[in-house]
Structure 1
């Protein structure tokens, strides 16, 4: 499974989502001017990355069920 390109892309996508989430939580906890200016933008990027990760996971699962992955 580690040699499948889709699995590697899924892993990277999930780690990107985790990184964005942790960065957003960190800025929220710290507060300040940076958080006020960028909190919504950071969480918006998390939602985009999460949607991409879910889409890739669904494509991977569907491809596996069809036998072409």
Structure 2
């Protein structure tokens, strides 16, 4: 499974979601000017990254069930 390129892409997408989420949580916890300026934008990025990650996960499952990849 680790040699499957789609699995690697899915893993990178999930890690990207985690990083964006941690940046958002860190900014929220710190508060202040950064949070006021960037909180909504960071969470919109997270939602977009999650959408891409879920689509990639579904594609991975689909291709695995079809016997491909």
**TM-score (normalised: structure 2):** 0.96
Per the alignment, residue 49 of structure 2 pairs with 49
Gaps of at least 5 residues in structure 1 are none
1:29 is aligned to 29
Secondary structure, counterpart of 1:68 in structure 2: coil
Matches within 5 A, 1:1-69: 1-69=1-69
Structure 1 moving runs of 4+ over 4 Å: none
- Segments of 5+ residues of structure 2 without an aligned counterpart are none
> How much is the aligned-residue C-alpha RMSD, in angstroms?
0.6
